[in-house]
Chain A
Amino acid sequence: MSDSEPAPDPAVDDGVDGEGTLSRPASDRPPYVESTIIMTTVRVIAPFVLTLGAFVMLHGASSAGGGFQGGVIAATTVVMLGFAFGIEPIAAHLRNEHLALLVLSGVGTFLIVGFGGYLVGGNFLQVSGYETLFKDGSKYSIELVEVGIGVVVSGVITGLFFLLGTGVDAGADDSDSEADR
């Protein structure tokens, strides 16, 4: 509800009274403000956050957690780096092929485990069938699926972050020209 507010907001304020209101269009704001405190903090805690994400992802079978949560926490590392060092410089270090490969490999892992169920004599995604292949096969295939989920989630969230955070002007121009036509 509050998200639809900003568009009519400035007009209303200008009409009634401009008191206590500071409205800045996106073009006036600096895209990135360097802060030593944020950069240092992120540099210190980023490895721990990434480790926590991996732990939650891998330990979902034995405690609270799983691929969805772990993937989001792992992706938070990139988000933090983006806030600390600027989104554009971080994006310059990443390549689209890598992110797409990350997402596709996660979906592929899930599907391979799913179709592998047929090979071990069960049904689609019947993880208990893997018990015949090796000891604790069911558990390890579940964990493999969780890692696949985590990889998909972290890849997509990193992608969404960069999609929304980079190329502000290009996106705005594009939509404007479309609206004019």
Chain B
Amino acid sequence: MSLSVPVAVVLLFMLGSALAAAVLRDVVGSIVAFAGYSFGVAVLWALLRAPDVALTEAAVGAGITTVLFLLTIARTSVSRSERFEGISLRSGLAVVAIVVTVGATVPALPPVGASGTPVLAGDVSQYYLTNAYDQTGVTNVVTAVLVGYRGFDTLGEVAVVFAAGVAMLLVLRREAFV
């Protein structure tokens, strides 16, 4: 796999902000680092030519999730500290074990952008790419699949969003949003 310079830079940025989110003792700083990580993921999606996912990650992951985290933290006592979280031997071992286990699966993956993978060469994706415009009249295949072919899934997603709002009302024992 050839690693282009922008992708490498974004991966490095993601690694740094992920470490900062885990290790920073300052909770607000940790949230900001987490938002930076999400933003890195969004840029990575954009570089890998998945603009729909990048837009979602930037809006939901880096944007709204951060706001909700900050609002939640604002309700608790905030500890501001310049020090780092101490890493115990046990958590260090757990991290190493997870990294080794997940890392062992990486060689089994096809290279990024390889042409022979089922995602690109499979019958289903080819069917969507060939017929999406004729059958739905929509030029963005992602939207065509989301609403045209897999509309029932998307209805489920909308139900989940709706349920999130209702669940929040129930958890906070309120009867009105505002």
**What residues make up the interface of A, taking CB atoms closer than 8 Å to B?**
1-3, 5-7, 9-10, 13, 20-26, 29, 56, 60-66, 68-69, 72-73, 75-76, 79, 91, 94-96, 99-100, 103, 106-107, 110-111, 114, 124-125, 127-128, 131, 136, 138-139, 142, 145-146, 148-149, 152-153, 155-168, 171-172, 174
Contact = CB atoms under 8 A, between A and B. Distances in A.
B178 A61 contact: no
A99 B177 contact: yes
Given A157-B64, A164-B68, 20 more contacts: A2-B34, A3-B72, A5-B25, A6-B27, A6-B79, A21-B79, A26-B75, A61-B140, A72-B59, A76-B64, A79-B67, A124-B152, A127-B147, A136-B137, A142-B138, A149-B157, A161-B67, A162-B177, A163-B168, A164-B168
Contact of B140 (A63, A79, A136, A159): A63
Dominant secondary structure of chain B at its interface with chain A = helix
A20 B136 contact: no
Contacts of A20: 81-83
Nearest to A93: B178
Contacts of B100: none
Give the interface SS of chain A, mostly helix, strand, loop or mixed.
Answer: helix
Interface string B59-80: 1100110011101111111111
A103 B143 contact: no
A68 B82 CA distance: 37
Contacts of B76: 6-7, 26
B21 interface: yes
Contact of A73 (B59, B78, B80): B59
Contacts of A10: 77, 79
16 contacts: A2-B21, A2-B34, A5-B30, A9-B27, A25-B77, A26-B77, A63-B140, A72-B59, A72-B63, A79-B64, A94-B178, A96-B176, A128-B136, A161-B71, A164-B72, A164-B168
B22 A1 contact: yes
B: interface residue count bin: 35 or more
B125 interface: no
A181 B56 CA distance: 43
B161 interface: yes
